[in-house]
């Protein structure tokens, strides 16, 4: 760890100058330990400089992000390359904020990495907006899937010439299985079906599995479409 070499680059005058920068500036040694943070960083965290030195600043990171820190720095040292990291840093009010942390290697005259200097940008608002967008997108996909399912049920019903005929002709199903299929199509849960027919939940699950196997249908939505198509239940249930 060449602290003297790093100290020669970041003199006391340089460090004082960094305090005038509104962005959060940090300086790390080649081991990834903190050598200096500017005033903006201290104001954000509400801590003192001595609290951050060496590995002290990792206690202010979210534990999951702190674990990855030294590995990332070690990789950057090997390649003497810049790096970017998103991490959570505890603000002075105790809440974690997402920061984009960017580091640039400091090289000696011989090209050896003697440390890093970088800055942090609070990107919590952007991440929250992206999360909201992802949730809205997932909801949109769910609605579209439901609409496609509804369209499929309607199309199946409209393309059936004799809605009630096939149900009576399908010898693959026992009377009990028709009862269970009827209740499944009407939206009853497994426990509700068991209670209504006075059988165990396992019996209902067994009959449902046999239904899917005999009809070559692999989900409840498919059973519901089959029940409507064959006239076992009304299309407007």
Q: Which domains are delineated in the chain?
A: 3-125 (3.30.450.20), 138-229 (3.40.50.2300)
Non-local (6+) Cβ contacts of 226 within 8 A are 181, 215, 217, 232
By DSSP bridging, strand 96-107 and strand 83-90 are antiparallel
Write the DSSP assignment of 158-195 as a string of letters: HT-SSTTHHHHH-TTS-HHHHHHHHHHHTT--HHHHHH
Query: Which of helix, strand or coil describes residue 87?
Result: strand
Identify the residue whose tokens are 């769910």. 142
Q: What does the chain come to in residues?
A: 237
* Whether 32 contacts 61, CB under 8 Å: no
Give pLDDT tens digits along the chain (237 positions): 344 456 555 677 777 878 888 889 998 888 888 888 999 999 999 999 999 999 899 999 999 888 888 788 778 877 778 888 888 999 999 999 999 888 888 888 888 888 888 889 898 888 777 776 666 667 666 656 665 666 665 555 555 544 444 444 466 788 888 888 888 888 888 888 888 888 888 888 888 888 888 888 888 888 888 888 777 766 555
Distance CA 29, CA 234 (A): 74
What's the CA gap between 201 and 141, in Å, rounded?
A: 32
Phi and psi torsions of 29, nearest 5°? -80, 180
Give CA angle at 99 (96, 105), nearest 5°. 135
* Contact between 147 and 155 (Cβ < 8 Å): no
Q: Among 4, 6, 11, 10, which Cα is nearest to 113's?
A: 6
Q: pTM of the entire structure?
A: 0.51
Q: For residue 23, what are its two tokens?
A: 């962005």
- According to the model, what pLDDT value does residue 45 have? 93
- Strand locations in 29-166 (E): 34-37, 83-90, 96-107, 113-122
DSSP 83: E
CB 118 within 8 A of CB 26: yes
């Amino acid at each position: 760890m060449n602290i003297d070499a790093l100290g020669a680059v970041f003199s006391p005058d340089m460090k004082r100058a960094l305090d005038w920068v509104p962005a959060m500036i940090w300086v790390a040694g080649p081991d990834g330990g903190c050598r200096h943070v500017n005033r903006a960083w201290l104001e954000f965290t509400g801590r003192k400089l001595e609290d951050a030195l060496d590995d002290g600043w990792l206690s202010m990171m979210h534990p999951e992000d702190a674990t990855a820190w030294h590995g990332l720095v070690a990789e950057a040292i090997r390649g003497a390359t810049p790096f970017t990291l998103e991490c959570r840093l505890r603000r002075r009010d105790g809440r974690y904020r997402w920061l984009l942390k960017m580091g640039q290697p400091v090289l000696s005259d011989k090209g050896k990495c003697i440390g890093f200097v970088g800055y942090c940008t609070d990107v919590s608002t952007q991440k929250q907006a992206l999360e909201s967008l992802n949730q809205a997108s997932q909801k949109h996909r769910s609605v579209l899937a439901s609409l496609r399912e509804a369209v499929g049920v309607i199309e199946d019903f409209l393309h059936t010439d004799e809605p009630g005929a096939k149900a009576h002709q399908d010898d693959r199903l026992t009377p009990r299985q028709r009862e269970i299929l009827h209740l499944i199509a009407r939206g009853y849960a497994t426990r509700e079906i068991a209670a209504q027919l006075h059988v165990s939940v396992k019996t209902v699950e067994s009959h449902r599995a046999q239904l899917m196997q005999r009809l070559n249908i692999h989900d409840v939505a498919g059973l519901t479409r089959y029940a409507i198509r064959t006239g076992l239940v009304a299309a407007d249930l």
